[in-house]
């Protein structure tokens, strides 16, 4: 090996040694740095632990302080409630002590009264024995006196009793007539004024137009030539009209007019409208007639419901079921003595509401009773019974309250009236039906009612003559003053009124006036 080669080998070795020394130094330095960082982290963690320990101790101190405060507060509240409870218990104890003292005093008083009662009982027993002995003695003397009286009077005891009863009956009858007359006069002084005021106020505050209808309807024609088309070939058109509507059509009675007659007002109205449409259209044959009647019938159902709804709104009655509204709407085409029944129901509802408000009753329930009182008249012939009863049963099934059902059922006295509103319904019904212009009668019914009134009055003894006046609203009875006294006249007026009410049916009321007059005539010569 040459010197140059040795030199190169030595430099490589030295470089290698320095490299290894650098690597070892780097590892050593890295270990020192890591140890330093670990010590720093450990110290930092130690500080965090110390801070957490201090914070925990502070929290524990605060919790301890708050717990002590809550304990003190609870102790104060407990002591306060205990003090109040003790006071209440002391008051109860004081009251019990006072009550015991009163009971002791009352017990002493009762003992004294019991002793006095025993003494009085013994005294009364002794007095009763004496009284019983005296009664026997008096009864014996009475029997002896009765025997002596019968011997002196020449009458038996039974005959004297009948004579006494007869005299007493005559006296009581005269006094009862006088009492009835005096009571009537006193009642009229107060009741008539108040009743007249309430009725007059109700009638004044509510008035309605008079509606008059009859059992026939008419359809005007442009000429009599159209009648032949209405009749049709061999009468097939008019037969179709009558069979589909259930009415009678009179063609030849009145010139340029067709009269429709029927008891069902709804069918009569359907026939009238159908005939008007057929006449206006000009096409009149059985198929066309059937189509028009079907269309008018469907439209009539809507009109009936709308009429019931409008009537309920006008009468201020709310919450009426749909079926009840349809039933009320049928009354739009129903009349009673030419008075429209639906308008009459609205009028009665308003009158009842006004009078109920004056008397302090519920006007809402009153108007409901008045509005529904004639709903039974909307039922057809398949439902049997008085209209008040069947109307009340229909309303009961529809969910109306018992007060409304009884008011409807009793407004014609078929059932007893329960309460003031049921009586007001009868009064309002009479006011609405008997007011001037509300109803009309034909001449035959009018004359028959007058004859019935006069025949009832003439059947009584002592009647000289009688006259039905004021369109049958009043009957004046003239009696013989020699047979009938003033007190008997009062009783006769009541008996005639009762007889008329039980025999006749009439709207409103009939006034009975009994006239007794004595005339003394002399001449000076």
Question: Could you tell me which of 217, 243, 272, 212 has the C-alpha nearest to residue 442?
Answer: 212
Residue 195: per-residue pLDDT? 58
For residues 432 and 231, give the distance between their C-alpha atoms in angstroms, rounded to a whole number.
Answer: 43
CB 426 within 8 A of CB 369: no
Answer whether 258's CB lies under 8 Å from 218's CB: yes
Point out which residues pair with 512 in neighbouring strands.
Answer: 475
Q: Tell me: the pLDDT tens digits for 6-23?
A: 445 566 777 777 778 777
Antiparallel, parallel or unpaired: β 339-340 and 463-469: unpaired
Q: Give residue 368's pLDDT.
A: 92
Residue pLDDT tens, the chain, 525 long: 555 454 455 667 777 777 787 778 777 777 777 778 777 888 888 888 888 888 888 888 888 888 888 888 888 888 888 888 888 888 888 888 888 888 888 888 888 888 888 888 888 888 788 878 877 777 777 777 777 766 666 666 677 677 767 777 666 666 666 666 666 666 666 655 565 555 554 544 444 443 334 567 777 777 777 778 888 888 888 888 888 888 888 877 667 788 888 777 788 888 888 888 888 887 888 888 888 888 888 888 888 888 889 988 988 888 889 898 888 888 888 877 667 888 889 998 998 888 888 888 888 999 999 899 888 888 766 677 788 888 889 999 989 999 999 989 888 888 888 888 888 888 888 887 766 555 555 556 667 778 888 899 898 988 988 888 876 778 899 998 888 888 888 888 888 988 888 888 776 678 899 998 877 777 787
Helical segments of 246-321, H only: 265-281, 286-314
Domain 216-434, CATH: 3.30.1370.10
**Residue 89 and residue 240: Cα distance in Å, rounded?**
96
Say how far apart CA 202 and CA 354 lie, in whole Å. Answer: 6
CA-based torsion, 504, 509, 510, 515: positive or negative: positive
Name the superfamily (CATH) of residues 443-515.
K homology (KH) domain (3.30.300.20)
Contact by Cβ (8 Å): 432, 347: yes
Write the CB contacts of 2 (distance below 8 Å, at least 6 apart in sequence).
none
pLDDT of residue 508: 64
Domain parsing of the chain, residue ranges: 155-205, 216-434, 443-515
- Give CA–CA dist 289/293, Å, rounded: 6
Q: How far is CA 9 from the centre of its chain?
A: 134
Dihedral through CA 160, CA 165, CA 170, CA 174, nearest 10? Answer: 130
Task: State the pTM of this model.
Answer: 0.46
Tell me the per-residue pLDDT of 320-334, one tens digit each, with 9 for 90 and over.
898 988 888 888 888
The C-alpha atoms of residue 439 and residue 398 are separated, in whole angstroms, by 31
Cα(418)–Cα(411) distance, integer angstroms = 11
């Amino acid at each position: 090996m040459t010197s140059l080669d040795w030199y190169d080998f030595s430099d490589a070795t030295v470089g290698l040694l320095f490299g290894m020394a650098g690597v070892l130094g780097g590892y050593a330095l890295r270990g020192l740095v890591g140890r330093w960082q670990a010590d720093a982290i450990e110290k930092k963690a130690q500080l965090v632990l110390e801070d957490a320990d201090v914070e925990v101790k502070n929290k524990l101190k605060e919790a301890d302080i708050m717990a002590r405060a809550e304990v003190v507060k609870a102790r104060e509240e407990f002591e306060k409630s205990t003090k109040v409870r003790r006071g209440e218990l002391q008051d109860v104890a004081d009251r019990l002590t006072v009550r015991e003292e009163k009971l002791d005093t009352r017990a002493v008083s009762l003992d004294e009264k019991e002793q006095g009662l025993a003494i009085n009982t013994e005294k009364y027993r002794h007095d009763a024995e004496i009284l019983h002995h005296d009664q026997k003695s008096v009864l014996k003397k009475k029997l002896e006196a009765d025997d002596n009286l019968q011997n002196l009077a020449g009458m038996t005891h039974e005959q004297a009793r009948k004579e006494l009863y007869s005299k007493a009956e005559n006296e009581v009858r005269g006094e009862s007539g006088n009492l009835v007359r005096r009571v009537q006069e006193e009642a009229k002084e107060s009741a008539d004024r108040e009743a007249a005021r309430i009725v007059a106020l109700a009638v004044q505050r509510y008035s309605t137009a008079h509606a008059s209808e009859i059992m026939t309807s008419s359809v005007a024609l442009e000429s009599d030539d159209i009648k032949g088309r209405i009749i049709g070939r061999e009468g097939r058109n008019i037969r179709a009209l009558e069979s589909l509507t259930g009415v009678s059509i009179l063609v030849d009675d009145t010139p340029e007019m067709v009269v429709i007659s029927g008891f069902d007002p709804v069918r009569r109205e359907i026939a009238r409208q159908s005939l008007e449409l057929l006449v206006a259209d000009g096409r009149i044959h059985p198929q066309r007639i059937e189509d028009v009647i079907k269309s008018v019938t469907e439209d009539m159902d809507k009109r009936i419901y709308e009429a019931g709804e409008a009537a309920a709104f006008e009468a201020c009655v709310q919450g009426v079921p749909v079926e009840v509204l349809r039933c009320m709407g049928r009354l739009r085409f129903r009349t009673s003595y030419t008075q429209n029944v639906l308008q009459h129901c609205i009028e009665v509802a308003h009158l009842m509401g006004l009078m109920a408000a004056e008397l302090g009753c519920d006007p809402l329930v009153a108007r409901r009773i008045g509005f529904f009182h004639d709903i039974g008249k909307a039922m057809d012939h398949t439902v049997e019974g008085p209209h008040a009863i069947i109307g009340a049963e229909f309303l009961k099934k529809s969910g109306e309250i018992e007060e409304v059902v009884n008011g409807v059922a009793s407004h014609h006295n078929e059932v007893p009236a329960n309460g003031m509103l049921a009586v007001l319904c009868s009064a309002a019904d009479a006011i609405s039906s008997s007011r001037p212009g509300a109803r009309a009668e034909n001449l035959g019914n009018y004359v028959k009612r007058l004859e019935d009134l006069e025949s009832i009055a003439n059947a009584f003894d002592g009647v000289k003559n009688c006259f039905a006046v004021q369109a049958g609203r009043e009957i004046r009875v003239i009696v013989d003053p020699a047979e009938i006294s003033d007190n008997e006249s009062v009783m006769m007026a009541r008996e005639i009124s009762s007889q008329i009410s039980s025999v006749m049916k009439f709207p409103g009321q009939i006034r009975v006036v009994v006239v007794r007059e004595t005339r003394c005539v002399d001449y000076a010569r």
